[in-house]
Structure 1
Amino acid sequence: MKNLYILDDHPIVTEGLSQLLANNHNYQITTGQHHSELYNYLNHATPDLLIIDYEIQEHTALEILSYLRQKALQIPVLIYTMHTEFWIIKLLTKAEVAGIVTKNDKIDEIEKAIERILEENSKYYSPTALHIVLSIVGDQSAAKLVNYIPSPREHEIIQMLSNGLTSDDIAHQLNLSKNTIDTMRKNILLKSGATNVSHLMRIAFLKGWIAI
């Protein structure tokens, strides 16, 4: 059974989400309305996923993310919020949250996000959040962004490209021919919908394949 912790200072949200998830899924749900409740909980337990609003009373999700890093707690965080301001979404993506769902999205988006994060270990942006994220980077490859998942070898090559390695460099490190690497690069661009390596890096950042 997966353990979820929901942090939101609106009881109607925590109660509604708890009921939805408990009825439809085999989740153990814990809720809190203040960051101190969460911190106390983390002293004796580690949830599989944190679901938190961006703004909790006088605190923000960014402060909580900073706290998790300071404590070296590797817990994925799903943001569920009314805030859709450009700068907030940008800060959250840079903070490498596991997902963003807005309260303007359909309720099943929260279930999709939880499943994607917990079962596939990947990031998830709801349609509203994804539209904002894509506008940040000027990327209109939404369909490809959502569907393509690189293989372990493709992921390795994407990581190397993000570090500035050339096809020759990658071929040498992987003990493969340059022609093989060039072919794999072309396939990655095709599958991801990217037009070039720079475009691919933007997509990779959004999907959480690399960190910038």
Structure 2
Amino acid sequence: MRSALIVDDHPVVRAAVRIVLQAEGFQHIHEASSGSEVVSLIRKHSPQLVVLDLQLPTLDGLDVLARIRGNELPCRVLVFTSHDPAFYQERCLRAGAMAFVTKTNQLQQLHKAIQAVMSGYTYFTALTDSVGTLNPLHSTEKQMINQLSDRELNIFVQLGQGRANKTIAEEMHLSHKTISTYKTRLMKKLGIKAAVHLRDFARRNHLI
């Protein structure tokens, strides 16, 4: 019998994904609303497929992918997220995901991705090389973002959303000082002179 685990902090999204999975013949479907639950639930239920969002409380999706790989858990991971594939798809591929589908697509894309992954294939968006169509500023900014580590990117997006250092630190189980260090490092790497410009930089590159 086919089994799956849905990892998303929005109940409506989980309900929609459940319907798709049931239509694809999954009889046992489990759910998680935070990243910290995933490894233990995979060990408990041994799902063949994990449908994973990237923006999660306590542990983001890229960290979850790293833990799944680090623990050598035998499951196939399909990333289903609202994040821009231009910045996240390759990271997910490198981390071991077999598919990447954006939530802005129709659910038919999710059906196709599930069918591909369960047949042993990968399912990723063919990204056009848009560097030539961007002005030099945007081209350089995209390159700088791509050079960030997964954790740096995660913290950068949260800072861009206007979240306080203390809040980020608590949710990521890090110290306030560590987040401050990341913030300083990000500003240096991205060439940002003042913290107030982090939001503009993130919005300009469609990260928030």
Q: Considering the TM-score relative to the shorter chain, is it more than 0.5?
A: yes
Q: Give the structure 2 partner of residue 68 of structure 1.
A: 68
Q: Please say which of residues 50-59 and 82-91 is displaced more in the overlay.
A: 82-91
Aligned equivalents of 1:101 and 1:85: distance in 2?
A: 8
Q: Secondary structure at the match of 1:6?
A: strand
CA deviation vs aligned residue, 1:156-195 (integer Å, no higher than 9, x gap): xxxxxxxxxxxxxxxxxxxxxxxxxxxxxxxxxxxxxxxx
Q: The residue matched to 1:73 in structure 2 has which SS?
A: coil
After superposition, residues 191-206 of structure 1 pair within 5 angstroms as: none
Deviations, residues 43-69 of structure 1 (Å, cap 9, x unaligned) = 322111110001112422211111112
Q: Distance in 2 between matches of 1:3 and 1:137?
A: 41
Does structure 1 retain, via aligned residues, the 8 Å contact 2:20–2:111? no
Give 2:129's aligned amino acid.
S
Match for residue 97 of structure 1? 97
Stretches of structure 1 lacking an aligned partner (at least 5 in a row):
139-212
- Equivalenced residue count is 131
The structural deviation recorded for 1:137 is: 10
Are 2:8 and 2:56, in contact at CA under 8 Å, matched by a contact in 1? yes
Deviation at 1:85, TM superposition (A): 5.2
Change (3 A) 1:17 1:85: closer
Structure 2 gaps of 5+ residues are 133-208
Cα deviation for residue 29 of structure 1 reads 1.2
Task: Please give the alpha-carbon distance, in whole angstroms, between the structure 2 residues aligned to 1:110 and 1:33.
Answer: 19
Residue matched to 1:135: 129
TM score, norm. by length of structure 2: 0.57
- Indicate the SS of the match to 2:96: coil
Considering only CA atoms, is the larger Rg found in Structure 1 or Structure 2? 1
What are the equivalent positions in structure 2 for 1:54-203 lying under 5 Å apart?
A: 54-84=54-84, 86-119=86-119, 121-125=120-124, 130-132=125-127, 134-135=128-129
Instruction: Give the conservation status (yes or no) of the 8 Å contact 1:52–1:77.
Output: yes
RMSD: 2.1
SS in 2 for 1:59: coil
Helix, strand or coil at the partner of 1:77:
strand
Q: Structure 1 CA distance, aligned partners of 2:129 and 2:75?
A: 28
Poorly superposed stretches of 4+, deviation over 3 Å:
none
Secondary structure of the 2:78 match is strand
